[in-house]
Structure 1
Amino acid sequence: MQQGVVSVKELLLKVMQRNQLVDMMYIAKNGEITKRRIKVIKVSEDKFNAYCFLKHANRLFCIDNVLALLPVIRKEREVI
């Protein structure tokens, strides 16, 4: 692995530890690409469990099917 390149699994573990929300681009088994806002609950070897705000339910995702992850940044002024 190149220096400075973070794997999807490492990023998932990091956002889980920080209790951070993530916007994810994901390709389903049928080839459909969706954008979902998730909260990572558990990361295993090749899958991860997350709460999906799109489906309003806990879902199991395949790490290899994640196209992009972008942590949701909450601006300080928006916190009440």
Structure 2
Amino acid sequence: MRKTLERSVRFGGLLEMMYIVSNGSISKRRIKVLQVGESSFRAYCYLRKSKRTFTIDNVLALVPVIDRESRVI
């Protein structure tokens, strides 16, 4: 998990994240990781449209967002 976060900071890619929120529910978010700490990380959350701090232990899954260009012929 940590390697994916650090790679995202280095290359600036977007991630889809499944996350356990503080009330126990599961949230799906699109994020851009800004900084990784020991137990948490800062990211821009496109759902909330703001910078947020997330706990690494609450992350269930991280998947890189791949944008594909469509060709018009």
TM over 0.5: yes
Q: Show the 5 A alignment for 1:1-80.
A: 8-77=1-70
Q: Which runs of 4+ in 1 moved over 3 A?
A: none
> Which sections of structure 2, spanning at least 5 residues, go unmatched?
none
CA distance in 2, matches of 1:76, 1:13: 26
Amino acid at match of 2:53: L
Alpha-carbon distance, 1:9 to partner: 0.9
Task: Give TM-score, length-normalised by structure 1.
Answer: 0.84
What fraction of aligned residue pairs are identical, expressed as a percent? 49
Alpha-carbon distance, 1:33 to partner: 0.4
Task: Give TM-score, length-normalised by structure 2.
Answer: 0.92
Query: For this pair of structures, how many residues does the alignment match?
Result: 71
Structure (1 or 2) with the greater strand fraction: 2
